[in-house]
Amino acid sequence: MIYLELVVQGIVQGSIYALIALGLTLVYGLLRILHVAHAALFTLGGYIGVLVTNSTGNFPLAMLTAMIVVGFVGIAVYKLAYEPLLEKPPYIALIASIALFIASEEIFRILFGPYGLSYTNPPLQLSFELLPDFYLKQGELLVIVGSIIMLTVLALVSGKTRMGVSWRATVTDPKMAQAFGINIQHVRYWNFFVGSALAAAAGVLVALLNNLVEPTMGSVTSYKALAIIVLGGLGSIRGTLIASLAIGIIESFGTIYIGHLMNRDAIAFAFLIVVLMFRPQGLLGAK
């Protein structure tokens, strides 16, 4: 039973990775920018989630507020930081992104204090026995179910709607898409809005599981999400989802059975290195 529990814990962690890494993949697919500052939006989501929950007592409202506000902040990041640099080589935007991320940690510290924030009455903390001797916390169940719902909606939108079609057209060939009358600017705004909102949702969920948001909460996420999109094959959405779950589950088992040799980040990166030795293009990347 312990193996099943570890798999489920891995899926919980993997779902969170997926929500975060997806935004990164979306941005990379569209603009070829490695959006490191994405992790700052994840942290911001966590802060908004805790602040709104604590002041209103309404967790769903907090989740919604965090996603919308952070979605717009994501658009602002694109508009202010990346758009002016689009003509420059991609590493310039990467440097800007790293700078933004480092600055954000200190901004969070100045705005919200160095001590971090917690839910005063953390919601969804009860555990229930799903199978004999197999427990799951409500919050953990929400992480899994919530991720599935959000990702399904995203898949439907990109597959079935006009918006989705223009998004995919822009990713494939921006110039051609523009020639067909697609407003590329709108596509980019939506892209940042959706990616950032998903990161915010992940931030709120992580805050729920840990009952702690702190200025440096995004530091691991920033490079772990990069590793995940590389593992998945840069720009591949399906690859990102598979890589997220794989890393989550490997970390889960690794923490227990080889945790005294390597910490969980080292385990994740060792896995990445091994995979890249055999598939340099990533799990689902095109050669």
Partner 1 sequence: MNIKKNMIATFLGIGLLTSPSFADNVRIGFHAPLTGFAASDGKSAQNGALLAVEQINAAGGIKGDILELVIYDDQASPKESVPIAQRLVEKDKVVATISGSYSGATRAAAGIFQESGVPYISAYAIHPDITRAGDHVFRTSFVGEVQGRAGAKLIGEALGLKRVVVITLQNDFGKSLAAGFKEKAKEFGIEIVAEYEYSIKDRQFGPIVSKVRSDKPDAIYASGYFFTAGPLVSQLRAAGIDAPVIGQEGYDSQKFIDIAGPASEGVIITTSLDRDSKVPETMNFIAAFEKMSGQKSDMVAASAHTAVHVLANALRTSGDGTSLRDAIAATDLTASTGHISFNALGEVGKAVQVQIVRDGNWHHHSVIDDAEFLAAPTE
Least Cα distance to 199 among 83, 66, 75 occurs for 66
What residues contact 144, with CB distance under 8 A and at least 6 apart? Answer: 11, 12, 15
* DSSP 8-state secondary structure symbol assigned to residue 84: G
131 binds partner 1 (CB under 8 A): no
Four-CA torsion 180, 22, 34, 252, nearest 10 degrees: -160
- For strand 134-137 and strand 127-131, is the pairing parallel, antiparallel, or unpaired? antiparallel
173 binds partner 1 (CB under 8 A): no
214 binds partner 1 (CB under 8 A): yes
Structure tokens at 212: 């702690």
The interface region with partner 1, picked from 24-32, 89-97, 134-142, 227-235 by CB under 8 A, is 134-142
In terms of CB distance, is 17 or 82 closer to partner 1? 17
106 binds partner 1 (CB under 8 A): yes
The interface region with partner 1, picked from 51-59, 190-198, 238-246, 249-257 by CB under 8 A, is 249-257
Which phi-psi region, left, alpha or beta, contains residue 135 (left: φ > 0; alpha: ψ -120 to 50)?
Answer: beta
**233 and 244 in contact (C-beta within 8 Å)?**
no
255 binds partner 1 (CB under 8 A): yes
Chosen residue from 58, 127, 161, 185 binding partner 1 by CB under 8 A: 127
Chosen residue from 23, 49, 215, 235 binding partner 1 by CB under 8 A: 215
Which residues make up the interface to partner 1 (CB under 8 A)?
1-2, 5-6, 9-10, 12-13, 105-106, 109, 114-116, 118, 121-122, 125-127, 133, 135, 137, 140, 206, 209-212, 214-217, 219-220, 251-253, 255-256, 259-260, 263-265
